[in-house]
Amino acid sequence: MTEKFSRWDSADYLKTEQDCADYFALCVEDDPGDGSLIRQALGTIARARSMTQLAKDTGLAREGLYRALSADGNPEFATIMKVIKALGLHLSGTAPRSAHA
């Protein structure tokens, strides 16, 4: 008997709005500073919800969104903000925790 494996996809586990928000917040926190993890998180959330609907909500082409949010993508900041807003997410900043606080 041959075993069949499928590729693990985190989008399969983002079932609720809270799942998506928590996942995005963790990726923002853990991003190495180049936006790669944020871009990946937005792509994953978009796939979990519906890339086609996101394209409609942002006014951007579906294929362009796949490309922009891919590992090799390099979207403009305006595109990232459109995607964040269309997904109902928020990008926020906090002061770093001080070692002396």
Q: What is the pLDDT of residues 27-75, one digit of tens each?
A: 999 999 999 999 999 999 999 999 999 999 999 999 999 999 998 899 9
What is the torsional sign of CA 56, 42, 15, 28? Answer: negative
Q: Are 94 and 61 in contact (CB under 8 A)?
A: no
Question: For 97, phi and psi rounded to 5 degrees?
Answer: -70, 130
Q: Which residue has the higher pLDDT, 1 or 38?
A: 38
Q: What is the mean pLDDT of the chain?
A: 92
The structure's pTM equals: 0.85
In words, the CATH class of domain 15-87 is mainly alpha
Quote the CA–CA distance of 56 and 65 in Å, as a whole number: 11
Residue 99 is predicted with a pLDDT of: 63
pLDDT of 1 above 70: yes
Quote the CA–CA distance of 84 and 75 in Å, as a whole number: 13
What is the residue extent of each domain of the chain?
Answer: 15-87
pLDDT of 9 above 90: no
